[in-house]
């Protein structure tokens, strides 16, 4: 009996690991293939596309960086993405907290109006927005993608933060009030630290969304020197259609920041941070 | 002198009034306990005193200040929540000292007070742990520590022990009694635990549906309840209520027919008229098997033998549940009989009229 039970357990865990490993391979293989292609000497790319590179050849990467101007694109992407992410996260935290904690008049309508933003596709407002940015004198500046980027990030951000704060025990804020903390300090000292998992989720999500944004910069940033990576990649692909190794190198460069951001913040996706607050 | 005075305090949630005009005077250094059934407004009343809920009408005074419109921190109170409400990301030390830090107390003073509280509450070994790494009783002590370091005039507790297991509850109950003796502060304590209320309180406030039923010392409420609700609420197992009818009034003596037998009750203040329905209340410990006095005949059901005392659950012929508390062991002859006569001294019985008011 004991034997069958333990062998069944062994099979169960083997089966589990088999499926997990399979999933990992499916997810990681394209990334591996991309890096192998980028690091392969050019003459091997078509001859043996799936084998390991015979030697590591960094020339594609350096060529993409210099000729493909990926350095410039990268800087542009950073200039656009960081303020957008900061704007979305700061405003979402404040708005989400305010809506969840204070029962002010019109709060329901306000929340619904913000949520309505989730249903508005960018395509439906891109042309009016173009003229508006033009009138405001912002067209062709970084602000023309940062400000709309923040606006489009807010519905989801506010929704996420509101529902997270809603679930935090209200007694914590009340304990803060008894301790003499101001509302701003309650938010900063007590509630925001507890919202770290939600904040990191929002940072990663918003970072990826902004980093990969294509249509907005295509329309509002026509100066080549201001292009972010996805646009650069497209023009680069058009210019070097045949050089698969070079394109792979461009793609590889463009994914590095996303991976870094993910690795930094994924550690914060820790559950049970509120354990021990209330019974 | 820190008294807490409520003057005609009212509270509504939307159109629903949940506290209907409460007047209460809690004396300096008094341990005052609010009891009442779930939903009667105990927590709401406490939170109004704390300043966590606005009040719709009336005034609240703490010491010689009208605090009705003051923030919690300006009222000189502290509060221990039922769920502890410890800050989960802060260590025990940070939890306890947070309020002092907010009020910009000098660091040396903070350290001194935290050390003081920690040694009083046996928390010295846990100061650098987070609440998640503590047991329920330890968390409760941290919550108490957080409230004592601020040296408030009035301590508020909202069912602080209800999340603990029975044994720890007894232990913490004694610690809270000790705390009260040591600090000599005014304390207001919400509970629905009989034993906590009886043992801790100087004064019990019995609430029902947002109104005060009676205020008094534990034994006063036990011995001399004003109405059927208080009589039934204070005391465990609860008082037995038998239905009766007035059959004759002769001066101070009112004859009541209870369960077929005539009982002569002494009522000197009120005299009901013949034919009035009344309720006769008898505490379980005033009933005995056999013995002298008035008698009722009941059908034994289950018995619970605790060793020192036993509880005999029985039913009258109208199927009213009657519990008798018997000192020592309950004889088998009594538990296995078809019918048993329970007797009581009529002078120990309580009489209530149809509306539940006490007749004396
Ligand atoms: N935020 C609220 N909105 C509407 N009604 C409320 C609110 N808070 C409490 N009430 C109502 O007020 C009444 C009193 O509630 P309260 O929490 O004070 O009861 P309680 O005596 O503490 O009960 P328990 O023993 O279960 O804790 C209840 O009927 C409750 O439904
Ligand atoms: Mg309550």
Return the HEC string of A59-94. Answer: HHHHHHHHCCCHHHHHHHHHHHHHHHHHHHHHHHHH
**Cα(A203)–Cα(A85) distance, integer angstroms:** 6
B72 touches chain A (CB under 8 A): yes
Q: What is the mean pLDDT of residues A71-100?
A: 95
Contact A255, A54 (CB under 8 A): no
**Ligand 2 mean position to A189 CA, how many Å?**
27
Which of A31-45, A153-167, B221-235 is predicted with the least confidence, judged by mean pLDDT?
A31-45
pLDDT at A269 over 60: no
Q: What is the DSSP letter of B128?
A: T
For residue B210, which ligand has an atom nearest its CA? 1
Task: Give the pLDDT band of residue A268 (cuts 50, 70, 90).
Answer: low
Specify the residue with its C-alpha closest to ligand 1, atom 6: B13
Domain boundary (B179, B204, B233) is at B233
Per-residue pLDDT at B30: 95
Residue B325 is part of which domain span? 240-359
Domain boundary (B192, B213, B233) is at B233
CATH architecture of the domain A73-275 equals Orthogonal Bundle (1.10)
pLDDT in tens, B175-184: 999 999 998 8
Question: Which residue of A172, A176, A179 to mutate against B (max B Cβ within 10 Å)?
Answer: A179
Does residue B263 share a domain with residue B170? no
Question: Which residue of B13, B89, B90, B145 to mutate against A (max A Cβ within 10 Å)?
Answer: B89
Q: Which helix (H) or strand (E) holds B117?
A: helix B107-120
Specify the residue with its C-alpha closest to ligand 1, atom 28: B39
Which of B11, B33, B37, B43 gets mutated to test ligand 1 (max ligand atoms within 8 A of its CB)? B43
Task: For residue A144, count CB atoms less than 10 angstroms from its CB and return exposed for 0-12, middle for 13-18, buried for 19 or more.
Answer: buried
Q: What is the mean pLDDT of residues A109-128?
A: 94
Residue among A95, A75, A28 nearest A229 (CA): A75
Residues of A with CB below 8 A from B99's CB? Answer: 178-181
Q: What is the dihedral of CA B50, B52, B53, B59, to 10 degrees?
A: 30
Task: Delimit the domains of chain A by residue range.
Answer: 73-275
3-state secondary structure at position A32: helix
Residue among A190, A207, A194, A198 nearest A269 (CA): A198
User: Which atom in ligand 1 lies closest to the alpha carbon of residue B13?
Assistant: 4
pLDDT at B349 over 90: yes
- CB A172 to CB B85 under 8 A? yes
For residue B40, which ligand has an atom nearest its CA? 1
**Cα(B244)–Cα(B241) distance, integer angstroms:** 10
Contact B278, B355 (CB under 8 A): no
Q: How many CB pairs under 8 A join A and B?
A: 83
Does residue B77 share a domain with residue B160? yes
Task: Give the pLDDT band of residue A270 (cuts 50, 70, 90).
Answer: very low
pLDDT in tens, B39-71: 999 999 999 999 999 999 999 999 989 999 999
**Cα(B140)–Cα(B168) distance, integer angstroms:** 10
Q: What is the mean pLDDT of residues B130-159?
A: 93
Does residue B259 share a domain with residue B217? no
Query: Of how many residues is chain A composed?
Result: 279
Does residue B36 share a domain with residue B9? yes
User: Which atom in ligand 1 lies closest to the alpha carbon of residue B207?
Assistant: 21
* Chain mean pLDDT for chain A: 87
**Cα(B296)–Cα(B115) distance, integer angstroms:** 61
Does residue B122 share a domain with residue B54? yes
Instruction: Locate the chain B residue with the closest alpha carbon to A181.
Output: B102
Specify the residue with its C-alpha closest to ligand 1, atom 2: B13
- CB B85 to CB A278 under 8 A? yes
Which of B10, B13, B15, B208 gets mutated to test ligand 1 (max ligand atoms within 8 A of its CB)? B13
Residues of B with CB below 8 A from A274's CB? Answer: 88
* Beta-bridge partners for B342: B289, B296
Per-residue pLDDT at A275: 41
**Cα(B112)–Cα(B117) distance, integer angstroms:** 9
pLDDT at B130 over 90: yes
Per-residue pLDDT at B60: 96
**Ligand 2 mean position to B39 CA, how many Å?**
7
Does residue B94 share a domain with residue B50? yes
- CB B83 to CB A175 under 8 A? no
> Cis ω on the peptide bond leading into residue B237 (within 30° of 0)?
yes
Does residue B274 share a domain with residue B149? no
Does residue B133 share a domain with residue B96? yes
pLDDT in tens, A17-26: 899 999 999 9
Task: Give the pLDDT band of residue A271 (cuts 50, 70, 90).
Answer: very low
Q: What is the mean pLDDT of residues B9-17?
A: 94
Residue B352's domain is classified under what CATH number? 2.40.50.140
Q: What is the mean pLDDT of residues A170-198?
A: 93
User: Which atom in ligand 1 lies closest to the alpha carbon of residue B159?
Assistant: 27
pLDDT in tens, B298-329: 999 999 998 889 999 999 988 999 999 998 88
**Cα(A251)–Cα(A237) distance, integer angstroms:** 10
pLDDT at A267 over 50: yes
Does residue B124 share a domain with residue B38? yes
Token pair for A268: 């914060």
Which of B44, B83, B189 gets mutated to test ligand 1 (max ligand atoms within 8 A of its CB)? B44
- CB B72 to CB A181 under 8 A? no
pLDDT at A82 over 60: yes
Domain boundary (B205, B233, B261) is at B233
Q: What percent of chain B has pLDDT over 90?
A: 72
Does residue B290 share a domain with residue B210? no
CB under 6 Å to ligand 1: residues?
Answer: B 13, 18, 36, 38-44, 192
Q: Which residues of B166-197 are buried (b: 16+ CB within 10 A; e: fewer)?
A: eebbeebbebbeebbeeeebbbbbbbbbbebb
Selected residues 157-216 of chain B with any CB under 8 Å from a CB in chain A: 163
**Cα(B196)–Cα(B218) distance, integer angstroms:** 11
A273 touches chain B (CB under 8 A): yes
Contact A101, A165 (CB under 8 A): yes
**Ligand 1 mean position to B47 CA, how many Å?**
11
Q: How many domains does chain B have?
A: 2
Residue B166's domain is classified under what CATH number? 3.40.50.300
Q: Which helix (H) or strand (E) holds A146?
A: helix A143-167
A194 touches chain B (CB under 8 A): yes
Does residue B198 share a domain with residue B109? yes
Does residue B207 share a domain with residue B109? yes
- CB A275 to CB B132 under 8 A? yes
**Ligand 1 mean position to B19 CA, how many Å?**
10
């Amino acid at each position: 009996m004991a034997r069958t039970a333990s062998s069944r357990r062994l099979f169960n865990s083997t089966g589990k690991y088999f499926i997990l490993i399979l999933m990992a391979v499916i997810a990681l293989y394209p990334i591996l293939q991309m890096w192998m292609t980028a690091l392969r000497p050019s003459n091997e790319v078509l001859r043996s596309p799936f084998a390991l590179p015979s030697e590591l050849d960094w020339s594609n990467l350096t060529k993409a960086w210099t000729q493909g101007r990926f350095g410039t694109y990268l800087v542009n992407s950073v200039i656009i993405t960081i303020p957008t992410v900061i704007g979305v996260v700061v405003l979402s935290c404040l708005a989400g907290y305010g809506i969840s904690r204070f029962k002010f008049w019109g709060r329901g309508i306000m929340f619904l109006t913000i949520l309505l933003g989730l249903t508005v596709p960018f395509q439906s407002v891109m042309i009016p927005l173009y003229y508006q940015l033009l009138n405001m004198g912002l067209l062709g500046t970084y602000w023309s993608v940062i400000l709309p980027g923040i606006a489009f990030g807010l519905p989801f951000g506010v929704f996420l933060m509101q529902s997270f704060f809603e679930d935090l025990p209200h007694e914590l804020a009340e304990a803060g009030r008894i301790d003499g903390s101001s509302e701003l300090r309650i938010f900063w000292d007590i509630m925001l630290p507890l919202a770290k998992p939600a904040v990191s989720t929002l940072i990663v999500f918003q970072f990826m969304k902004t980093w990969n944004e294509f249509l907005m910069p295509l329309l509002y940033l026509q100066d080549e020197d201001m292009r972010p990576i996805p646009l650069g990649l497209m023009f680069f692909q058009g210019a070097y259609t045949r050089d698969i190794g070079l394109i792979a190198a461009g793609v590889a460069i463009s994914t590095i920041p996303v991976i870094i951001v993910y690795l930094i913040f994924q550690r914060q996706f820790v559950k049970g941070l509120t354990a021990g607050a209330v019974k | 002198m820190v008294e807490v005075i409520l003057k005609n305090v009212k509270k509504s949630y939307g159109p629903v009034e949940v506290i209907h005009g409460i007047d209460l005077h809690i004396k300096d250094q008094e341990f005052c306990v609010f009891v009442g059934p779930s939903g009667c407004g105990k927590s709401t009343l406490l939170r109004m005193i704390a300043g966590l809920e606005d009040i719709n009408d009336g005034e609240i005074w703490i010491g010689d200040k009208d605090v009705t419109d003051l923030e919690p921190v300006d009222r000189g109170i502290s509060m221990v929540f039922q769920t502890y409400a410890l800050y989960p990301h802060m260590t025990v030390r940070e939890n306890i000292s947070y309020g002092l830090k907010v009020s910009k107390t000098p660091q040396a003073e903070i350290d001194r007070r935290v050390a003081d509280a920690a040694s009083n509450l046996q928390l010295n070994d846990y100061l650098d742990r987070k609440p998640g790494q503590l047991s329920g009783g330890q968390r409760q002590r941290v919550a108490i520590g957080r409230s004592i370091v601020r040296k408030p005039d009035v301590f508020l507790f909202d069912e602080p022990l209800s999340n603990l297991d029975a044994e720890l509850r007894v232990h913490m109950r004694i610690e809270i009694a000790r705390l009260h003796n040591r600090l000599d502060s005014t304390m207001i304590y919400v509970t629905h635990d009989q034993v906590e209320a009886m043992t801790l309180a100087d004064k019990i406030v019995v609430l029902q549906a947002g109104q005060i039923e009676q205020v008094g010392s534990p034994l006063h409420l036990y011995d001399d309840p004003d109405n059927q609700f208080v009589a039934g609420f204070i005391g465990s197992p609860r008082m037995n209520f038998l239905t009766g009818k007035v059959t004759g009034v002769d001066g101070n003596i009112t004859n009541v027919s209870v369960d077929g037998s005539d009982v002569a009750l002494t009522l000197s203040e009120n005299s009901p008229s013949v034919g009035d329905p009344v309720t006769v209340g008898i505490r379980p410990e005033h009933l005995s098997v056999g013995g002298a006095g008035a008698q009722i005949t009941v059908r034994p059901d289950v018995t619970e033998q605790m060793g020192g005392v036993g509880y005999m659950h029985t039913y009258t012929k109208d199927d009213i549940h009657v519990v008798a508390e018997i000192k020592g062991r309950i004889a088998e002859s009594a538990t296995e009989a078809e019918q048993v006569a329970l007797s009581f001294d009529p002078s120990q019985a309580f009489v209530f009229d149809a509306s539940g008011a006490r007749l004396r």
